[in-house]
A and B are shown apart, each in its own frame.
Chain A
Amino acid sequence: MSAIILFLGVIAVIVGWWLSQQRLTAKPWLEQGPMDDFPGTGAIALPAAKIGLGVFLAVAGCLFTLVISAYSMRMNMADWRTLPVPKLLWFNTGVLVLSSIALQWAHVAARRNDIDGVILGLLAGGASALTFLAGQLLAWQQLRVAGYFVASNPANSFFYLITAVHGLHLMGGLAALGRATAKTWRGAEMVQVRLSVELCTIYWHFLLLVWLVLLGLLTGWTDNVVDICRRLLT
């Protein structure tokens, strides 16, 4: 469970930093008035949707970290046998990187009020994300053909579970992306388009980051890092 404790530690630092800006040492019983004279005490000025996404990323991050925690706990048992990760995953990773880049492109275009660029970026991002999902399904198929079924070994079960959880999150993102694209297509106000595209981009980068961590774990090339962390913690 050290992964989740570390994750919560990071969350605690963020929450602690935010709370430290909120004058928690104030003596509210002595302060009357509309409060404009006291700095840093108002509601957050960011759009609600953006804060909402931030909170959701913390929840999703928690979910992925718990899966990782469970995976690494099981991995440490003596009878653990990793399954060979299909080469296709590397191609899929490349496609997901492209997807993130395309959305970043759309984000930049939105800031420049370039509607065509936004739509192009969103479509390219959506298409490559779909390709990634198709690639993941193909990887499952390859494993199945090679005899690595979901229930035949704990490592297999974890592999299918981890990729499925990530894929489902991406599918949720695609629904939001579809809405953002439709909104842009219909010619919504630029302020709204900018916000929607920015939220999608943040979510995409988050899922890319999560995928890179998961891939590192599944392929075993972060084993050394994990080992070092574990030694530091114990």
Chain B
Amino acid sequence: MVDIPYEAIADVPRAEVPDVELYHPKSWVTKYVFSQDAKVIAVQYALTASAIGLVALVLSWLMRLQLGFPGTFSFIDPNQYLQFITMHGMIMVIFLLTALFLGGFGNYLIPLMVGARDMVFPYVNMLSYWVYLLAVLVLASSFFAPGGPTGAGWTLYPPQAILAGTPGGEDWGIILMLASLILFIIGFTMGGLNYVVTVLQARTRGMTLMRLPLTVWGIFTATVMALLAFPALFVASVMMLLDRLLGTSFFMPTLVEMGQLTKYGGGSPLLFQHLFWFFGHPEVYIVALPAFGIVSDLISTHARKNIFGYRMMVWAIVAIGALSFVVWAHHMYVSGMYPYFGFFFATTTLIIAIPTAIKVYNWVLTLWRGDIHLTVPMLFALGFIITFVNGGLTGLFLGNVVVDVPLSATMFVVAHFHMVMGVAPILVVLGGIYHWYPKVTGRMLNEVLGTFHFWVTFLGAYMIFFPMHYLGLLGVPRRYYELGDAAFIPPSAHTLNAFISVVALTVGFAQMVFLFNLAWSLFRGKPSGDNPWRATTLEWQTPETPPGHGNWGKELPVVYRWAYDYSVPGAAQDFIPQNQPPAVQSLHGARP
């Protein structure tokens, strides 16, 4: 190790990066409502995303009631079932996961972890949240619009999405959905500019890129990807909105509906699929990369060991980000394409497995001979690794054209993507909340409730989605309101469906325990102190907990080391904070 004598670094000026001119709130409203403080905005994002996420959770219960006990619940009709599917998917993928990882975790953690006072454009950051809220409200309003929300499926494929046969197709549903997506993208772009520029420009002195915690790497790369991918959804939404409102035919071919020739003609539905999946596939990694980053930090901290292969982890994040832009057409194998294209996209899809596998190996090797503390965040992190491997392996099946074609419209796909981008990222979100809640509130979450929450969620998720793979292999189709009496579906499949539904409802209700824990611990939780996990990264070294406005008191921290100095041989403690000068540690082993 490079050992720099204490004298040589004693006169390091504290802050070289120019201090951001902070907007100081003057009233309660500007402090908590129209706040420009990234930490408040993060909480606003997280609460809004969770609220609309709960709506999506309830929708999934309704779907499961119908699938598990068809014909029992008269208040669910086929149209509503399609509406539930559509809204559940869109809310979970975009309005919950994307918003929570980037708007929630990104806003809270980026400035703190890079040692900045706030985001670089606080006003734009505030606008970002309010536009996002508007997008959520517009989306939610479609439940109350005439005809209800759209039932086009979360992929919104034309031509069916804007025709009378689809719920919401000729009413308000699809219009509100598209408007909401457009607003979301505008809001996200405002936030995304902040996240990227803050990482580029506002890192504190000594915080080189290779000293960034992997959480920041994950969120940063995902934001860059999102900034480049969301325009595709934007263009597709605008064009479809014009098709629906002005009668243009970007995506609408000449077609006959209910015996009548429609006004459309000359459009290309395939064009929409290309645009949608050009966004849609990177979106998987926009959700996954922040999860990768967060889980790396959780594992390293709670196993008291430096992350294995930090450089490889960084390179893998960048490589996955780049590769994910050239795989989109693997979602379109069944739409028909030139065979060599299928070959190309299958190859690129399978290549992504390499950097992803590197990450999984590195997590496991970080755990190897670590001082593993089975805290609640660690349980969720371990749950993530297993779940992500499971979901990823079925992805290898589906990435191959010949396997994908028979499986593509079955429950197998539903099981695959729920494992890989539903359950896995949600486990990280929950682990992340258990990990950082003490910093946000100054109190610990209750551990007994947390452990209960983990086991029910983790085991429950497997009881839901493992059997679903099997249903898919039997040929049980997805998106069907009722299976009827198909010869290839044995009676046991119906029993299995009922079983899945019961478990799904149970797991859903277990989340209420978590919500209770969040509320109860806010007032009654054990006080956490500044650094309850004895972590190295900067957010745990703030002078106050919860961090005050401007994060760092008078002076910005100076960073002397990487983010993973755990269990360093010879050190007095099993962690050395990033802002601790080397000589002080080697002489006294105490924090500065």
Contacts and interface: CB of A to CB of B under 8 A. Distances in A.
Interface residues of B, number: 67
A35 interface: yes
Nearest to A11: B228
Interface in B228-269: 228, 231-232, 234-235, 238-239, 242, 246-250, 263, 266-268
Nearest to B224: A15
A12 B231 contact: no
Interface range for A: 35 or more
Given A1-B278, A66-B231, A153 B210 contact: no
B239 A48 contact: no
A194 B200 CA distance: 22
Contacts of B549: none
Contact of B208 (A15, A23, A49, A165): A23
B201 A48 contact: yes
B515 interface: no
B56 to A, nearest CB: 28
B310 A29 contact: yes
A48 B314 CA distance: 24
A79 interface: yes
B120 interface: yes
A58 B189 CA distance: 11
B19 interface: no
Contacts of B564: 29
Contact of A38 (B202, B208, B242, B268): B208
Contacts of A52: 120-121, 193, 197
Contacts of A145: none
B17 interface: yes
Contacts of B2: 30-33
Contacts of B192: 59
B196 A55 contact: yes
A120 B231 CA distance: 36
A35 to B, nearest CB: 5
Nearest to B227: A59
B205 A42 contact: yes
B278 A32 contact: no
B526 to A, nearest CB: 33
A22 interface: yes
A77 to B, nearest CB: 7
Interface in B1-57: 1-4, 9, 12, 16-17
A66 B249 CA distance: 17
B248 A151 contact: yes
Interface string B558-582: 1111101100000000000000001
A41 interface: yes
A77 B248 contact: no
Interface in B267-281: 267-268, 271, 274-275, 278
A176 interface: no
Interface string B442-482: 00000000000000000000000000000000000000000
Interface in B171-220: 189, 192-193, 196-197, 200-211
A44 B235 CA distance: 32
A58 B228 contact: yes
Contacts of B9: 33-34
B249 A154 contact: yes
Nearest to B325: A8
B208 A42 contact: yes
Interface stretch (A67-75, A102-110, A195-203, A214-222): A67-75
B356 interface: no
Majority secondary structure, A binding face? helix
B250 A24 contact: no
Contacts of B200: 43-44, 51
Contact of A46 (B12, B201, B235, B582): B201
B266 A66 contact: no
A42 B16 contact: yes
Nearest to B190: A56
Given A51-B201, A66-B278, A151 B246 contact: yes
B242 A43 contact: no
Contacts of A19: 318
Contacts of B189: 56, 59
Contacts of B558: 34
B311 interface: yes
B326 interface: yes
A186 interface: no
Given A34-B558, A70-B275, A73-B274, A41 B248 contact: no
Interface string B300-312: 0000001000110
Contacts of A63: 231, 234-235
A28 interface: yes
A66 B250 CA distance: 14
A165 B203 CA distance: 35
A158 B251 CA distance: 12
A131 to B, nearest CB: 26
The 3 A-B pairs at the shortest CB distance, nearest first, are namely A28-B562, A41-B208, A157-B248
13 contacts: A4-B232, A26-B208, A31-B562, A32-B3, A38-B208, A41-B208, A43-B204, A52-B197, A59-B228, A66-B231, A66-B232, A154-B267, A161-B238
Given A30-B1, A55-B196, A151-B247, 13 more contacts: A15-B224, A23-B208, A33-B9, A34-B560, A43-B203, A44-B200, A48-B201, A52-B121, A59-B231, A62-B232, A70-B275, A157-B248, A157-B249
